[in-house]
Amino acid sequence: MSENKTKATSQAVDEFIAAVEHDGKRGEAKQLDALFRRVTGEEPVMWGPSMIGYGSYHYKYDSGREGDFLRTGFSPRKAKHSVYLMGGYCEEVTSAKNEQLLKRLGKHSRGKSCLYINKLADVDMGVLEELVKVNWDAMNRVYPPEN
């Protein structure tokens, strides 16, 4: 069985953010980092070369595949920020809540558990913070933290 290619690394998050090329994206990455730290209470960790994660969880599928992944996080990509909202993927009630919140968020696109935002000025930051919190809480219910 193949191994998860995206793993936590020892790369410093602050150094990664400082190296984001575009000044605007770098500033927004700092804003997102502050938002995620505030909501999660977690120190960020780099996952792979470009994902900033807050918390982690261990998953095991019926197929036997298992691994570890970030509970939530983001990646300040060149074109758009990718925001990882895993809770709606794991829990129907959270998926429904996400749909309600996304209607109020502002300009965005999305994938299964990813939210894509071109620039933070395009969205309501209060709604984004609520989305992160709702999904963080869902992940903690579905995959209780090991303390």
> Could you give the CA distance from residue 21 to residue 40 in angstroms, rounded to a whole number?
27
Average pLDDT value for residue range 44-59: 95
Give the least confident one: 1-5, 19-23, 123-127. Answer: 1-5
All residues at 6 or more sequence positions from 126 whose CB lies less than 8 Å from its CB, including other chains: none
Q: Is the pLDDT of residue 2 over 80?
A: no
Helix (H, G, I), strand (E, B) or coil at 83: strand
Name the fold adopted by 13-142. Aspartate Aminotransferase, domain 1 (3.90.1150)
DSSP three-state, residue 62: coil
pLDDT in tens, 116-134: 999 999 999 999 999 999 9
d(CA 114, CA 53): 13
Confidence category of residue 105, pLDDT binned at 50, 70, 90? very high
Kindly report the pTM of this predicted structure: 0.92
Percent above pLDDT 90 for the chain:
78
Q: Note the pLDDT tens digit of each residue in 55-96.
A: 999 888 788 888 899 999 999 998 999 999 999 888 899 999
Of 111 and 82, the structure prediction assigns the larger pLDDT to 82
